[in-house]
Structure 1
Amino acid sequence: MDWDDLRIFLAVARADSLSGAGRRLGIDASTVGRRVARLEGALGAKLFVKTPQGYALAPEGERLLPHAEAVEAALSGAEEALSGPGDLTGQLRIGAPDGCANYLLPQVCARLSEAHPQLEIQIVALPRVFNLSKREADMAIAVSQPQAGRLVVQRLTDYQLHLAAHEDYLRAHPPIRSREDLRGHRMIGYIADMIFDRELDYLTETGAEWAALTSNSVSVQMQAIRVGAGLGIVHDFAIPFCPGVRRVLADQISLRRSFWLIRHADDRRSQRMNRLADALAQGIRAEVARLQALVVP
């Protein structure tokens, strides 16, 4: 058994398909299939079960998985030990909710790229939780702390959210001096049955019973507010990107949430991943503080 075979095994286990593994490895699916069959033949064990959804790990594959991941971590550690603590290189895939991905990560990653020119950064913005065990991302940013899994979790920073609307909308509609005045105003928020984390159920805290315009994307919601479609809860750090958007009832409706950085437990032994996590954490904290300071009270 050699590392190249294990590398292909890990790719299939994480992608659940030969084609997905091939894309990750830069080889065609038929080659992946042949290499998996060769490894199974060498071990005398069936590692995967073909299902309508793709390739699932067989019991023997489940037993092999932690050992293959340990080999992967050991090789990565050896490379880091030989290369030393210089510039960060290679690929870093960051999964994040779209608010963070749109309004924070571009600036943070731009500075990280400038400091480490050989680092390839990928930002995956998806309104859902990432599966780090399948390596959908190297690290993920979440709005709540996970309660299960072999993960390393650290609190990044708190951030503020407020009810907001564009000044054009506010001029064209009745004044809002209290929560009661919100009745009759158009509200913007999340699609209720697509809220993947209870921390995103913002409108409930305003007392609104329904929203006239909804999206599973906080960035789409913000753009709807920007064009005067109504009022919605927005991140304070997003307001500087939308001239004319103003906070409403800031002294009565104020939400606090947190960002969490999540990594696979095996990565804590990696000097490279620790350095990347530290740089990302420092960058996000600084960027949230900078942008929130720009918001007019």
Structure 2
Amino acid sequence: MLDWNDLRYFLAVAREGSTLAAGRALRVSQTTVARRIAALEQALGIKLFDKRQAGYALTPEGQDLLSRAVQVGAVVDDFTRAASSHARELRGTVKITTEEVYGLTLVASVLTELHDLHPDIMIELDTAGTVRDLGAGEADIALRATKIGAEQPAGLVGRQLCFDDWAPYCSRAYAERRGVPRAVSELKDHAFIGGGGGNLWLQYQAWLQQLGLESQVAMHHATSGGLLAGVRSGFGIAVLPCAVADADPELIQCLPPRSKHERGLWLFTHERVRHTPRVRTVVDFLWDRLSRHIRQLEAKQAAA
């Protein structure tokens, strides 16, 4: 079987006149060049060079094949340049999947800057609430909460942004009407907004049941973005992610988040696409802007 890579050695020896000079040009050993030429001759079943004291001279057969080898080399070089050009281009679609509340706030807040920097990258933001399989190509990047130290699917590459803290919040408008509950015992005098969808609602509902507050739910939203909208409207109280709500001047944290929950907010991609320029560019951009956002919140809380 012909190894196409051996044509590089054939062309180099034909051009340089010796295996030693060809090795220098290709940055390999003379022995490697001689071995690859021998392998090519064996694969083709013909002799390409005559070994002389002055070096390697093309045989008539080798001379006849040289022009064709040059054409193949030109095609390969053109193919390589085209592939490299495509790889360097920062264009195309990058799909980001995340919980709706994060998509509407943390991610959406930085997309304008991303577009200004890289206008040929089109972002597809998926906030459907379904956990997408990055390994299967259902998304390129995921901003999602997961248990710290939990084993992730094979090939997943991630960095933790912060702890995924959630706490009950109300709006300033609600606080003016009803006050701000500062203890668990005071929560029973307030209206709650339930929902959030999927696993979020299961955990939220369990927390309400544990505190005997499920009967206080006076409105139900199907998504996490709905919880945020409900709180902002002044209707009542709901649990929200601290990374989002603490940055909103119109929202007030009623009680501190639950401690020792061992969940973190992570930025994930997959080994399959992590080195694709457009994906790598978006991942690095999101990491820089979102981690900066987290640091600013931490500094604000430390100064309070």
Question: Given the two structures, how large is their TM-score scaled by the length of structure 2?
Answer: 0.59
> Is the Cα contact below 8 Å between 2:192 and 2:237 reproduced in 1?
yes
Distance in 2 between the 1:109 and 1:98 partners?
Answer: 15
Distance in 2 between the 1:99 and 1:196 partners?
Answer: 14
Counterpart residue number, 2:132? 130
Shift of 1:272: 4.5
Counterpart residue number, 1:165? 170
> Is the Cα contact below 8 Å between 2:142 and 2:267 reproduced in 1?
yes
SS in 2 for 1:201: helix
SS in 2 for 1:142: strand
SS in 2 for 1:260: strand
**Aligned pair partner of 2:279 in 268, 273, 296:** 273
Counterpart residue number, 2:146? 144
Change (3 A) 1:153 1:227: same
The residue identity in structure 1 corresponding to 2:211 is G
Counterpart residue number, 2:95? 93
Shift of 1:122: 1.5
Change (3 A) 1:253 1:140: closer
Shift of 1:202: 7.7
> Is the Cα contact below 8 Å between 2:245 and 2:251 reproduced in 1?
yes
Shift of 1:109: 2.4
Greater CA radius of gyration, 1 or 2?
Answer: 2
Residue identity (%): 19
The residue identity in structure 2 corresponding to 1:176 is P
Shift of 1:226: 1.6
| Unmatched runs of 5 consecutive residues or more in structure 1 | 1-77
**Aligned pair partner of 1:154 in 151, 154, 158:** 158
The residue identity in structure 1 corresponding to 2:160 is L
Question: Given the two structures, how large is their TM-score scaled by the length of structure 1?
Answer: 0.60
Distance in 2 between the 1:98 and 1:128 partners?
Answer: 10
SS in 1 for 2:138: coil
Counterpart residue number, 1:119? 121
SS in 1 for 2:189: coil
**Aligned pair partner of 2:182 in 173, 177, 180:** 177
Distance in 2 between the 1:87 and 1:253 partners?
Answer: 45
Q: Once structures 1 and 2 are overlaid, which stretch shifts more, 115-124 or 236-245?
A: 236-245
Matched, 1:212 2:215: no
Change (3 A) 1:132 1:86: closer
Change (3 A) 1:177 1:272: closer
Matched, 1:227 2:230: no
| Unmatched runs of 5 consecutive residues or more in structure 2 | 1-79
Shift of 1:182: 0.9
Change (3 A) 1:148 1:236: closer
> Is the Cα contact below 8 Å between 2:158 and 2:267 reproduced in 1?
yes
Shift of 1:101: 0.5
Distance in 2 between the 1:242 and 1:128 partners?
Answer: 26
Shift of 1:215: 2.2
SS in 2 for 1:130: coil
The residue identity in structure 2 corresponding to 1:204 is W
Distance in 2 between the 1:223 and 1:80 partners?
Answer: 48
SS in 1 for 2:182: coil
Shift of 1:217: 1.5
Change (3 A) 1:111 1:200: farther
Deviation digits for residues 124-182 of structure 1, max 9, x if unmatched?
A: 11222112244221222211157453332312311543321123322333662321111
Distance in 2 between the 1:239 and 1:80 partners?
Answer: 47
Q: How does 1:26-105 map to 2 (within 5 A)?
A: 82-83=84-85, 88-105=90-107
Cα RMSD (Å): 3.5
Counterpart residue number, 2:109? 107
Distance in 2 between the 1:244 and 1:184 partners?
Answer: 21
The residue identity in structure 1 corresponding to 2:269 is R
Change (3 A) 1:196 1:240: closer
Distance in 2 between the 1:202 and 1:286 partners?
Answer: 32
> Is the Cα contact below 8 Å between 1:187 and 1:213 reproduced in 2?
yes
